[in-house]
Structure 1
């Protein structure tokens, strides 16, 4: 997929700025600190990994509307017990996301290549047990539609933006070609040794831009992003629910061609994850 820059779609052009370069350097510095402290004695690293999975599961699902709190998510994933008064689907989403993170870990250990087929598996896992998904009518009204887990969408999907406009994603008949291009592009960036965070952030954005499935696209995009980071030795960039508004705004700006803002946002999210782990490791050392 070798192309001249003028032939590359605008959503795939690599951003370059002093702010982004500085932010990436800080990610690399923090990752080196973490790597130097490993291997750890006892089961501390396993505990850290579980904490990251819980944080990632809570925040990614909360962004999509889950009502579980961080402590309820932890209790459910650790004990397997639900909490009264919360929708069953929220626990189903927590279980599915947790299992998807486990699948990512196995994929990295097995050195399985990224592919559109793998993302279909991820979507099938995210929507496991989900019969219907939330949707919007053309005039922005809430409705439901039958879920087709692991299958590309058969009908157009759209969302009401913060500005009040209805944004339509890639048409169903274009999804297969767009997804093939996305994963060819990811492979090419790996060969070029593009910084993994830039590859991960742009892959995330384009996955959301395509919106290939009926549901689970946001969670799938964050799983894809973090799989790219984790394959390259980084921690996952956990996007916190409290930053949801900034997250959506950066994605909206990327729709206008401002990809740098989203890359910096992802870099800052990774830094928050890294700093939390460094604090645990340094506290343990003391």
Structure 2
């Protein structure tokens, strides 16, 4: 374990305590209307990092301009802008569905319709200019694959395509079957590892000809937010750890993936809880200090340039105080 990195058990305990604090102090996860700037920042970061895990090269400021203003800043291939645009649209739909489902929804944790809808929304824009070269008309966004998938590098082979519809239905039933245990966070297996098993199960089925990674992470967040927990963002720098954890999960070892998901959940938990409980002089992660005026990227840039009084911890996280941010706001634009 890297020096200064808390153990898996510690991460699980911190997450458990953080969720309890979220419920005690805020009555649960605030809606996008109640915490618009926090949800917006998560939206940008998720669209950036989740597409970057698949090879997209847009940087965060390009993602923010595209999602907020519809502007294609930079000179990247059109395919990359449409990948981010599709993911951003799907993520917004996921948050809305999770917190304010339509009248047609019957109260389940997840439905097969939602699985297909998430894939369709995420992949439709890019499909218009760069469809999968082997896809037929019956394998368009939102439609299950009718091709077999070659075994992955680690040897895991997704099921034959005729089995996919029944296996997706079975997977959704398994999600709904453990819904109550996930809500109450009970059972002998740590609940982040139950989530890890669900995530790995979807990726192993690989129900679509393309876009399974993005769809799987979006569905995971739909489940989490519907349960009242923060969504997860797997950072692009965590890609090797994430892929290794998925490979370990293929063998039945869900610990590494459960830990990675728990750490990501805890990071976003701090965005919701810490701004509401931190005193003006308490040192907290920059993510907890985001507001309508400054995104996380803007605060990090100010810290790196020395304009915001902040410290860079041994865990790689920048931290500052609410008081320091207020001081930065007062002095922003002045010659230092």
Work out the CA distance in 2 between the residues paired with 1:116 and 1:81. 34
TM-score (norm 2): 0.68
Residue 84 in structure 1 maps to residue 66 in structure 2: no
Cα distance change of structure 1 residues 192 and 167 upon mapping to structure 2, 3 Å threshold: closer
Contact 2:66 2:72 (8 Å CA) reproduced? yes
Contact 2:116 2:143 (8 Å CA) reproduced? yes
Residue 181 in structure 1 maps to residue 170 in structure 2: yes
Contact 2:119 2:211 (8 Å CA) reproduced? yes
Pick from 55, 61, 86: which aligns with 1:96? 86
Q: Deviations over 1:253-279 (max 9, x none)?
A: 111111222112211121222235555
Residue 155 in structure 1 maps to residue 175 in structure 2: no
Contact 1:186 1:199 (8 Å CA) reproduced? no
| Runs (5+) with no aligned partner, structure 2 | 1-6, 186-190, 281-288, 290-321, 324-336
1:110 aligns to what? 101
1:81 positional shift: 0.1
Contact 1:158 1:166 (8 Å CA) reproduced? no
Count of residues in Structure 1 that have an aligned counterpart in Structure 2: 254
Cα distance change of structure 1 residues 171 and 71 upon mapping to structure 2, 3 Å threshold: same
Contact 1:203 1:224 (8 Å CA) reproduced? no
Pick from 11, 15, 31: which aligns with 1:27? 15
* Aligned residue runs from structure 1 range 110-259, under 5 A: 110=101, 112=105, 113=108, 114-129=110-125, 130-131=127-128, 132-133=130-131, 144-146=133-135, 148-158=140-150, 160-161=152-153, 167-193=156-182, 195=185, 197-259=192-254
| Runs (5+) with no aligned partner, structure 1 | 1-18, 135-143
Cα distance change of structure 1 residues 216 and 32 upon mapping to structure 2, 3 Å threshold: same
Per chain length, whose mean CA-contact separation is higher, i.e. which structure has more relative contact order (CA < 8 Å, sep 6+)? Answer: 1
Residue 271 in structure 1 maps to residue 266 in structure 2: yes
Of structures 1 and 2, the larger Rg is shown by 2
1:197 positional shift: 3.6
1:133 positional shift: 4.3
1:29 positional shift: 1.7
Cα distance change of structure 1 residues 133 and 245 upon mapping to structure 2, 3 Å threshold: farther
TM-score (norm 1): 0.80
Work out the CA distance in 1 between the residues paired with 2:194 and 2:254. 12
Contact 2:52 2:58 (8 Å CA) reproduced? yes
Q: Secondary structure at the match of 1:84?
A: coil
Q: Deviations over 1:99-121 (max 9, x none)?
A: 11121122121273311121111
1:199 positional shift: 4.0
